[in-house]
Amino acid sequence: MKYFYSSFILTILGLVAAYFLGGFVAVYICILLIILEVSLSFDNAVVNARILRHMSQVWQRRFIIYGIPIAVFGMRFLFPILIVSIASDMGMLQTLNLALNNPDEYHHALHSNKNQIYIFGGGFLLMVFLSFFFEEKETKWIRFLEDNHLIKTLSKSQNITLFIAILTGIILIMLTQNSTYAIAYFSAIVLYLGLGMFDEIFNTSGIKSGIMGFLYLEILDASFSFDGVIGAFAMSQDIFIIMIGLGIGAMFVRSLTIYMVRKKILESFIYLEHGAHYAILALAVIMFIKIFYEVSEIITGTASMLFIALALIHSVLKRRNID
């Protein structure tokens, strides 16, 4: 429980603040937003743990201390304002004023540009999945997908991940005929490749360096948060209530990440990171589908939890067979 003390403290403070902002109704909405964030980002915690376990305890602490303000105020407050500001050709202060004083219009502006957000987040998450899927690893989960002759042959190419990502981008551009979507998608690919390039420069012994690992985790967190931020407006138009609810959820996800690292959960449940990455693929695909059709956050959260649950159950069964 000690790993979650800070999350519980933030929860109490956040719910008290929500009460003063909007009474018990605001508190209830915050609780729903916390559940939404955790359900959509549980796979994020698993992937975070996979990266964080190779980083020093100093950077693990910084992930909590410095990462939470970034996650709460940056990704769930300032970042949506930045997106609306860029897409609507308004200044940051003007957009902030819109968010504070005219939340309906702000929500409309954010919703009008949600497709660019989805295609950017989907592109980044697709690269995360592909990089995991084609990397060399001893443990295989869904063997008919991961351990067949075609995948083994494709994995020999260093460019297979980038090739599939570019091919996916071309298909999306052909379907949408939208140059703005193309810029958003390939910006995500360039960002992922840029982080990887700088990581190779600064890392040691193949382990992500502190600063690059930290940046990678923050951008990964942002990609997971897009769906929650946009979906949150279905529950509240108050950006402070949204920030409090999603921020507390983000804190629990980070506490869960540290718990997994300290307790060596990924080593104990060997298929868990596989399940998390398949959940990431599902989220990326859903983000792409959302460009054309509405998809409920319930479906998104259920798909993620289903992969995690199946991987967890299979891991337990595997341990029992070994024992």
> How far is residue 116 from each of residues 111, 123, 187, 221, 262, measured CA to CA in Å?
10, 11, 11, 17, 37
- What confidence score (pLDDT) does residue 202 get? 58
What is the distance between the alpha carbons of residues 48 and 203, in angstroms, rounded to a whole number? 17
For residue 226, the one-letter residue type is F
Q: What is the number of other CB atoms lying within 10 angstroms of the CB of residue 277?
A: 24
- What confidence score (pLDDT) does residue 208 get? 52
Residue 318 CB contacts under 8 Å (≥ 6 apart), including other chains: 270, 271
- What confidence score (pLDDT) does residue 206 get? 45
Cβ–Cβ under 8 Å, residues 279 and 308: yes
Q: Which two tokens stand for residue 319?
A: 């341990």
- What confidence score (pLDDT) does residue 172 get? 92
- What confidence score (pLDDT) does residue 1 get? 67
pTM above 0.85, yes or no: no
Q: Where are the domains of the chain?
A: 2-322
What is the distance between the alpha carbons of residues 133 and 195, in angstroms, rounded to a whole number? 18
- What confidence score (pLDDT) does residue 82 get? 76
Give, for all 323 residues of the chain, the pLDDT tens digit. 677 888 888 899 999 999 998 888 888 988 888 887 787 777 778 877 877 777 777 777 777 777 777 777 777 777 777 777 776 677 778 888 887 787 777 777 777 778 888 898 889 889 989 988 888 877 888 888 888 888 888 888 888 899 999 999 999 999 988 888 899 899 989 988 887 776 666 555 444 556 777 777 777 777 767 667 766 766 777 778 888 888 888 888 888 888 888 887 877 888 888 888 898 898 889 989 988 888 877 787 788 788 888 988 888 888 777 65
